[in-house]
Amino acid sequence: MVARVPEIEEQVVPPPNSPVAIRRRRWREIKDHLARYYIAAGGIGVIIAIVLIFFYLLYVVIPLFRPAHVEPGAQYSAPGGGTETTLHLALNEYNNVGFRLTDQGRGIFFSTNNGKVILESPLPLPEGVTVTSFGAGDPSRQAAIYGLSDGRALLLRHAYDISYPDDVRTITPRVEYPLDKGLLAVDPQGQPLRLISAQSDEDQTTVAAVTGDERLVLVNFVLQQSFLDDEVTIERVTASLDLSPLKVTHLVLDGQQEELYLADSEGYISYYQVRDKEAPRLVQRVKAVPEEVEITALSFLTGGISLLVGDSSGRIAQWFPVRDENNNYTLEQIRTFDSQQAPITAIASEHARKGFLAADTSGHVGIYHTTAHQTLRVTRLSEAPLATVGISPRASAMLASDSQGNVHFLKIDNEHPEVSWQALWGKVWYESRQEPEFIWQSSSASNDFEPKFSLTPLTFGTFKAAFYAMLFAIPLAIMGAIYTAYFMSPKMRGLVKPTIEIMEALPTVILGFLAGLWLAPLVESHLPGIFALLLLLPVGIFIAAYLWHRLPSRVRHWVPEGWEAALLIPVVVGMGALAMVLSQPLEMALFGGDMSQWITTHLGITYDQRNSLVVGFAMGFAVIPTIFSISEDAIFSVPKHLTFGSLALGATPWQTLVRVVLLTASPGIFSAVMIGLGRAVGETMIVLMATGNTPIMDFNLFQGFRALSANIAVEMPESEVNSTHYRILFLAALVLFMATFVFNTLAEIVRQRLRKKYSSL
């Protein structure tokens, strides 16, 4: 039986001008056009997406830099009429109810829209007694006090009850008296209280007053509750100091009832520590204004740490106690505001932020923020001098009275006063700090918190992480790429290059997890071995290369050309094992058994377990595949005729590599480095999990940091939408976006120039 050989069909190529060939060419042209437009549309789509991201970030960030806006609301005669002088103005939370206190002892609640009286509450002043002084307490507690001519004082608080009958919000104002129906015996001698200040909370009330005979009287009332019958008793402590011959003009007591400030006619401020109510202690007396200038207003900034001093030149200065080298507090002038030119008559601090209002005799009112050190707005309200000013709890409205008996109601749009160039990028002297600093601290548990939104330590941390990662990755990646593309055999290259490129697919969250939970403790426990490895590894490789060179040629020929690098694997592993074995003996012999503690004790460098060294290793490992792959492709793509021509002219392989191959491939190598840098700058999970996330500015290799990307990942879920914190996080994202854009743009410019320069090779 004869096997049948299958016939081979021959493909018949149609003639070029045949209908079949014409249809094929047309279909190919259609596919080429579709592919070209599809690729172009994809590229344009990527550009549009990037531009939209940029403009969305800009859209969220721009409101941060909008100036404060004041909208006139209403102007009317003082509610309640009469010829009394307005001593105090305040608003409720919703800006629709105002409160006025007069020098005749009347408390008047009125509508802020038209001045109509809602409730008039006569205060229980004793007959035959006149008002001689007035003081307002912490604005968040809504307390005020009258000083009387018989040495007594009347303490009161304005409050608001809110109800919703028929789903309509109804506000019912009232005046309440915290202690003994408000009347307090302050001066046992019954002298008129010329100046007075008071602070009150649930546990105690402190009253400070200057009498007509120039004595300082300090009275502390402490509530004592019996555990048996819930009876409440009041324990009273009194202290008195003679202030003569000083002429005190202003008196303020802080909200914690521990510090007292007195301003006198000579322009000095006396700082008293009154923590011990029985023995007030003078800490410091300091000149607060220049000669020929008088102190005209004195008030606390919210939180009770900073003191605001207004003077007759229109300047406002911020002072607060600063701890010196001997752990003693001294009053220091921190910053000044010079936007107003007339004498300051009244200062009203915001209830929850570090901003304040200042009124002057020319009828102007200024809006300021201390942390940002900026004047947000100065507006003229009246032709007459302004006497009092009050701000709402949400800082969205204000009331002011002038010397002609008019009240001005204004709405304020001032959402983000904390933001300025100085606050974001410069050193700021924050309250309770010893000096100006770069600090990021977006939240705090204390009521006197001052927001610290400096982006400088976060930007510094971002570049610090990128620096150490690139320091680790660039030599390994580029040298590896050179050897792989130029010296390695094709078969071995076919194994090594895909393996390293696969490393790029490793999730960074896994690398961060391993770096934080495995690598960081390993580095800390074998720190001498890590540094010993940096010395042993190159020495071991040079020794291995020397021994290999000394072997007989017939032995060296056993290894195929281009596979010599495989022999270094056991050398590298062996040197690593040797370094780890030597780590403990080195630590015992040189560092007393604990190198991290030795670094802290002898070098003064703090050692954190999750530090820049760990991040450099982990993030460098993540960046190596990117730099290696692009660099290797650039080197391998150098035309072979350049290499062969150089070798034919007598150059050695190394000379050819250095003077021909690397120069030709330099645009690609530079692009690889810049792309790796962009990857390192934008990395999130590794720096989030492998560092202590402490926003400090220190180039110390053994300390952590916080990067912009990690900060966004940590704090964005906790930030209130459209708040200052929220928008500053978007600003951080915009800074990161712009940094990456700048790096890539510079990389492309340099690459094009290198390409043009060496294109003639």
- Mean of the pLDDT values across residues 177-196? 87
- Mean of the pLDDT values across residues 284-302? 93
- 759 pLDDT tier (thresholds 50, 70, 90): low
Choice between 761 and 551, residue whose per-residue pLDDT is larger:
551
- Mean of the pLDDT values across residues 423-431? 92
Contact 319, 283 (CB under 8 A): no
For the chain, give the percent of residues with pLDDT over 90: 46
Could you state, in order of their start, the residue ranges of all structural domains in the chain? 459-524+606-757
Taking all residues of the chain, what is their mean pLDDT, rounded to a whole number? Answer: 88
For the chain, give the percent of residues with pLDDT over 70: 96
Q: What is the pLDDT of residues 210-223, one digit of tens each?
A: 999 999 999 998 87
Question: Homologous superfamily of 459-524+606-757 in CATH?
Answer: MetI-like (1.10.3720.10)
How many whole angstroms separate alpha carbon 373 and alpha carbon 384? 28
What 245-250 contacts at long range (C-beta under 8 Å, 24+ apart), as own/partner pairs, is 245/214, 246/214, 246/270, 247/214, 248/195, 248/210, 248/214, 248/216, 249/195, 249/294, 249/295, 250/195, 250/295, 250/297, 250/298
Choice between 324 and 573, residue whose per-residue pLDDT is larger:
573
How many whole angstroms separate alpha carbon 277 and alpha carbon 200? 14
Count of Cβ atoms closer than 10 Å to residue 45 Cβ: 10
Phi, psi of 630 (to 5 degrees): -70, -40
Contact 195, 160 (CB under 8 A): no
- 133 pLDDT tier (thresholds 50, 70, 90): very high
Choice between 443 and 395, residue whose per-residue pLDDT is larger:
395
Between 32-41, 446-455, 566-575, the lowest mean confidence (pLDDT) is in 446-455
**Which amino acid, residue 663?**
L
Q: What is the pLDDT of residues 346-383, one digit of tens each?
A: 999 999 899 999 999 999 999 999 999 999 999 999 99
pLDDT of res. 10: 55
Is residue 582 scored above 50 in pLDDT? yes
- Mean of the pLDDT values across residues 709-738? 91
Is residue 447 scored above 60 in pLDDT? no
For residue 425, CA distances in Å to 420, 439, 452, 457, 505 come to 9, 10, 11, 9, 36
- Mean of the pLDDT values across residues 76-103? 90
- 718 pLDDT tier (thresholds 50, 70, 90): confident
pLDDT of res. 255: 87
Is residue 431 scored above 70 in pLDDT? yes
Is residue 710 scored above 60 in pLDDT? yes
pLDDT of res. 1: 46
pLDDT of res. 11: 59
- Mean of the pLDDT values across residues 648-668? 87
